[in-house]
């Protein structure tokens, strides 16, 4: 028995919702082929598109490690699982690459076994994969990769995910080729927050959620502000302020860091507008000697 699945890239945080908001995009994403065999054990048969960077050791690889946990949980360690992964998005770029791979593996296995678990039940296994990949098991990438659309992690303990209305907008993603590991990008955030900043932040989060229900995208744009994480993390992204200014002056509703960066994202009412700004931002980075795609 075999299956081929696709798991999308995701934009986590969505500016003000650190660790709680995320949405899936149509592309890019990962493709994964899984086959059940008679010989017990989980094997990574091949990985394409990772430039040899991902571990093939089943215990260390995000995909196989979460599949192994799932098999253990459902008492099916007698099964043999062969995995072929095609990475079709940049890794360590802030697009939820490890989340997509983990979700693809778990989803594929669950389908091959005729869905012993619900998507909600698969989520903690995908979070384990995240913890392995970047040292922290956040769910704001894995939830939208698994459920699709726009999701809110209402709470981590107990884990509760809410599917939100998906806005009818276009998302432009630009990946500047600089290295910003999630692990490091988490370490530089202050662990204490001023009450006045917290008030601003939760006002924006509440406004953003409201805008999704009312489809008031001007409000959504006004709520895409982050006074806690972005001011610190944006220092790791070259030309962040200039890119933001350019996007906002040219029709973006909002602009921010995708996940922990370095990819930046912005939202638009029209696809043409999104394309135009994207090429402006690319040129801007190129003029400073920074490659991007």
Q: Please state the residue numbers annotated as binding site for ATP.
A: 90-100
94 contributes a contact to ligand HSE by CB under 6 A: yes
Exactly one of 10, 62, 151, 182 is catalytic; name it: 182
Please give the Cα distance from 142 to 186 (Å, whole number): 17
Q: Which of 89, 126, 99 is nearest to 12 (CA)?
A: 99
- SS3 category, 252: coil
# binding residues, ligand HSE (CB under 6 A): 14
101 contributes a contact to ligand HSE by CB under 6 A: no
- Indicate which single residue of 64, 93, 101, 141 sits in contact with ligand HSE (rule: CB under 6 A): 141
Instruction: For ligand HSE, give the closer residue by CB, 130 or 217.
Output: 130
Spatial neighbors of 246 by CB under 8 A, at least 6 apart, are 277, 280, 281, 284
17-41: b (≥16 Cβ within 10 Å) or e: bbbbbbbbbeebbbbbbbbbeeeee
- Indicate which single residue of 5, 7, 9, 12 sits in contact with ligand HSE (rule: CB under 6 A): 12
The yes-or-no answer on residue 130 being catalytic is yes
Instruction: For ligand HSE, give the closer residue by CB, 185 or 252.
Output: 185
35 contributes a contact to ligand HSE by CB under 6 A: no
Please give the Cα distance from 190 to 199 (Å, whole number): 17
Please give the Cα distance from 293 to 287 (Å, whole number): 14
Instruction: For ligand HSE, give the closer residue by CB, 110 or 141.
Output: 141
Residue 34 — φ and ψ, nearest 5°? -130, 140
Exactly one of 10, 31, 128, 130 is catalytic; name it: 130
Rg of the chain on CA atoms, in Å: 19
Instruction: For ligand HSE, give the closer residue by CB, 33 or 178.
Output: 178
- Indicate which single residue of 7, 13, 61, 93 sits in contact with ligand HSE (rule: CB under 6 A): 13
The continuous run of DSSP H or E covering 21 comes out as strand 21-37
Q: One symbol per residue from 173 to 202: x for binding ligand HSE (CB under 6 A), - otherwise; what is it?
A: ---------x--xx----------------
Catalogue the active-site residues.
Answer: 130, 182
Site residues, ligand HSE (CB under 6 A): 12-13, 18-19, 94, 96, 138, 140-141, 182, 185-186, 259-260
């Amino acid at each position: 028995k075999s299956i081929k699945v696709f798991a999308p890239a995701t934009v986590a945080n969505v500016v003000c919702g650190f660790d709680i908001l995320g949405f899936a995009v149509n592309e890019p994403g990962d493709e994964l082929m899984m086959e059940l065999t008679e010989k017990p054990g989980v094997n990574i048969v091949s990985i394409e598109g990772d430039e040899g960077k991902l571990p093939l050791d089943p215990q260390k690889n995000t995909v196989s490690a979460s599949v192994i946990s799932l098999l253990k949980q459902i008492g099916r360690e007698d099964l043999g699982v062969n995995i072929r992964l095609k990475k079709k998005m940049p890794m360590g770029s802030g697009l939820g690459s490890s989340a997509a791979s983990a979700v693809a593996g778990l989803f594929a296995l669950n389908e091959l076994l005729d869905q012993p678990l619900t998507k909600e039940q698969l989520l903690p296994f995908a979070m384990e994969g995240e913890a392995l990949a970047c040292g922290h098991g956040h769910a704001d990438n894995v939830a939208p990769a698994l459920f699709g659309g726009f999701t809110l992690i209402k709470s981590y303990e107990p884990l509760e995910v809410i599917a939100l209305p998906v806005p009818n907008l276009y998302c432009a993603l630009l990946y500047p080729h600089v290295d910003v590991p999630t692990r490091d990008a988490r370490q530089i955030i202050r662990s204490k927050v001023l009450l006045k900043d917290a008030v601003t932040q939760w006002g924006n989060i509440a406004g953003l959620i409201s805008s999704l229900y009312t489809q008031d995208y001007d409000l959504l744009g006004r709520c895409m502000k982050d006074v806690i994480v972005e001011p610190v993390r944006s220092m790791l992204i070259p030309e962040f302020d200039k890119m933001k200014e350019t996007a906002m002056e040219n029709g973006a509703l909002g602009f921010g860091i995708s996940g922990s960066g370095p990819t930046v994202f912005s939202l638009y009412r029209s696809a043409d507008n999104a394309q135009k700004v994207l090429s402006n931002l690319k040129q801007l980075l190129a003029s400073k000697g920074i490659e991007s795609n």
